[in-house]
Amino acid sequence: MKNKVYTFILLILCCGWWTARAQDSTTACNAQFSASVSGNTVAFRAVDSAAGVQHLWIFGDTSQLGYGPYVTATHTYSHPGTYRVTHLVRDSAVGCFDSSSQLVTIGAPPPQCSITFTYSHDSTRPGQPYYFYAQPNLGGASADTVTWRVNDTIVGTGDTLVRVLPNGASNVCVNLVTNSGCQSQFCQTIVVGDTTTTPPPTCSVNVTYSHDSTQPNQPYIFFAQPSLAGATSDSVIWRVNDTIAGIGDTLVRVLHNGMNTVCANLVTNLGCQSQACVAILVGDTTPPPPPACSISVTVSHDSTRPNQPYTFNAFASIDSATSDSITWSVNGTAVGTGTSLTRSFSNGTYTVCAALVTNLGCTSTSCQTITVTDSTATPPDTAGQPIRCFPNPAYSSTNVIITLKAPTMIYVRVYNSMGGEVEEKTVSGFRGANIINVPLGSLQQGIYYIQLQYGNELKRSRIQKL
């Protein structure tokens, strides 16, 4: 086992790549794969095509495929960006398991974003906190995550930070990540000379854990035991193999075979920091697969009136898992998450699926196929104030360009030829030229109408879906 660890470290140092891997020592599964990008569609092919091997593809945009005999997979992304695609393989007949991942970039890079911050501080009195205020520019995105670091240690999230800094130079950084994939960082070095109070008391943290090694695939339960040394609050952040895995005094985690380093990082409200780590050599993760789970889907629809939406409800059984995620797709394209989905359709046949993934790795999918024949409304008027779409005709998506004089919300709606609304989205528009991507992948072939509403403006366009 030590030779395996040394070999893995040598591969990292010499080759510069990383692949998450856990497999039986006497058999070999290979999760490596290739990816071929064409527009918004990517074709994936597994290296391991042996009979009996099951494949799970996680495409990085909340959708996935498997487990099943999927040596090849094709996926169409709804908008440009960089996605981490993960491929897992298993063969229960010989007891092997492996996983790998790589980044796939679709289309143009995400919109530019930026972030800065300002701060205030009462220097007339010693020991007063600094107040930091983030000023993010989302670059057209609709949501963001702001993380604060002091001297390269995570100390908070959100648009504000209150912190007592020690005497000397402190490097304060704010990091922005938007839901469109854009990232930005801004740092300032602050020299403190008025903190005349004594240094914060020494704090410490200790880590213990429990694990049932008599059964395979059982989670490890970690417990942090902090000593705050006079502080009134603390933050404990967990890392597994240098990747953030949780926050709080406990962590429940299934570990892969091999060496795992689990660390608890403590930061108190007085500025004291401490870390404790444990190294765990795992050798009992030898599937059978995780505990069973299942999902079923029901559908309701008022067929007595035309153009009424369909409502889908998912019912999940997650066995001994403690949490789950449910992703909805229409004709293979992800359209939402959660336990329900409400959607309008044009005439045609659609397969609506709910995919379940639990925190223990169990997956299940349930689908309903519907045939829509009651969309009879009149298509929207396309006269006046037209806008241009490109490409047109289009396969999976099209783009609309509008120029705004000031930032405002843009409401995008797509109607079928009978006037039924089939897609909608809301975009935060910014001053200047805005390129808005409109997904079409879940729609049948035909003629559709795109309507943009912002302020007192209402613009429309006609597009052909191939």
pLDDT in tens, the chain (466 residues): 444 444 443 333 333 333 333 333 335 789 999 999 998 899 999 998 888 899 999 998 888 897 889 999 999 998 888 889 999 998 888 888 888 989 998 876 556 788 999 998 887 777 788 889 999 988 777 767 888 888 888 888 888 888 888 888 889 999 888 877 788 889 998 888 765 545 556 788 899 999 888 877 788 999 998 888 777 767 788 888 877 777 788 888 888 888 888 998 888 777 778 888 998 888 765 444 556 788 998 988 877 777 677 888 988 888 777 767 888 887 776 767 788 887 777 777 788 888 888 877 788 888 988 887 765 544 444 444 567 788 888 888 888 888 888 888 888 888 887 777 888 888 888 888 788 888 888 888 888 888 888 877 878 888 888 8
Ramachandran sector of residue 47 (left: φ over 0; alpha: ψ -120 to 50; beta: rest): alpha
Alpha carbon distances (Å) from 237 to 22, 274, 280: 25, 11, 18
Neighbouring-strand partners of residue 348:
372
Same fold, 18-106 and 389-465: yes
Residues 425 and 412: beta-carbon distance below 8 Å: yes
Q: What is the pLDDT of residue 111?
A: 60
Q: What is the pLDDT of residue 284?
A: 63
Q: DSSP label at 10?
A: H
Q: What is the pLDDT of residue 376?
A: 52
What is the pTM (predicted TM-score) of this model?
A: 0.28
Residues 87 and 59: beta-carbon distance below 8 Å: no
Q: What is the pLDDT of residue 342?
A: 79
Burial of 463 (0-12, 13-18, 19+ CB in 10 A): buried
* Lookup: tokens for 266: 């403590």
Q: What is the pLDDT of residue 143?
A: 67
- The CATH superfamily label for domain 18-106 reads Immunoglobulins (2.60.40.10)
CA distance 387 to 378: 21
Q: Which CATH class is domain 389-465?
A: mainly beta
Q: What is the pLDDT of residue 37?
A: 92
Q: What is the pLDDT of residue 16?
A: 38
Q: What is the pLDDT of residue 201?
A: 61
Q: What is the pLDDT of residue 110?
A: 52
- The CATH superfamily label for domain 114-192 reads Immunoglobulins (2.60.40.10)
Q: Where are the domains of the chain?
A: 18-106, 114-192, 204-282, 294-372, 389-465
How many residues are listed for the chain in this entry? 466
Amino acid letter, 268: T
Burial of 187 (0-12, 13-18, 19+ CB in 10 A): exposed
Q: What is the pLDDT of residue 199?
A: 54
Q: What is the pLDDT of residue 218?
A: 83
Q: Which fold has domain 294-372?
A: Immunoglobulin-like (2.60.40)
CA distance 112 to 93: 49
Architecture of domain 204-282 in this structure: Sandwich (2.60)
Burial of 459 (0-12, 13-18, 19+ CB in 10 A): middle
